Amino acid sequence: MPKIVDHAQRRREIVEATWRFIAQRGFDKLNLRDLAASAGYANGALKPYFPTRNSILSATFNYVFESTGNRIARVTRGLGGMEAIRAFAHEVLPLDEERRDEARVVIHFWHVALQDAEMAELNGTSMDDWRQMLDQWLGQVPGVEASRVETARNTLMTFLLGAQITAVLDHVGTSAQEQLTQLEYILESLH
């Protein structure tokens, strides 16, 4: 009797192995043979699921973004205004090794997106989702004038994305406590 394979589960397992691989070894070292070995599959077993490096990178970025999005949805449920913004930021900031690994994957993705329009569009869509959430919450913060929402949102996003880069590349001043202190400084400036 042939073995029944859950293709969605197999894709998820491959993507989970990929994001760990990229976080630990980098995208440049990613080849489907080594990835298959690290995921416990035979060489060539990934091709039916992901025929190219870009296809697996796209799925991996989506996985990381969705993981972050699921955490954001969970912690912001029932919150609004500054409380929601703070909870959102805590999930984006690389405050622990798991989120730092996610940042490593995202940074590799950005590098590819610089030269690939499809990847750049995927990133843009993801950032649009964040912008919409932040715009809504910033509109609920007393003292933030409607004319300042866009600037406040862009400032916060620049800080969050920059924190991902510095946490991965420059460990000076990027402890969890320092990131939270910097976040509070930015949030206080909104009032």
Q: State the pLDDT at residue 122.
A: 87
Beta strands (DSSP E) in 88-177 are none
CA gap 44, 25 in Å, rounded: 20
- Tokens 């976040």 locate to 183
Helix (H) or strand (E) holding 10: helix 7-25
Query: Which pLDDT tens digit goes with each residue over 146-184?
Result: 899 999 999 999 999 999 999 988 877 688 999 999 999
Comparing CA positions, the residue from 92, 100, 54, 52 lying closest to residue 180 is: 92
CA gap 33, 41 in Å, rounded: 9
Q: State the pLDDT at residue 78.
A: 96
pLDDT at 5 > cutoff 70? no
Q: What's the pTM value of the predicted model, to 2 decimals?
A: 0.86
Query: Which pLDDT tens digit goes with each residue over 35-79?
Result: 888 878 887 788 888 888 778 888 988 898 899 999 999 999 999
Query: Which pLDDT tens digit goes with each residue over 108-133?
Result: 889 888 998 988 998 999 999 999 99
Residue-range domains of the chain with CATH: 7-189 (1.10.357.10)
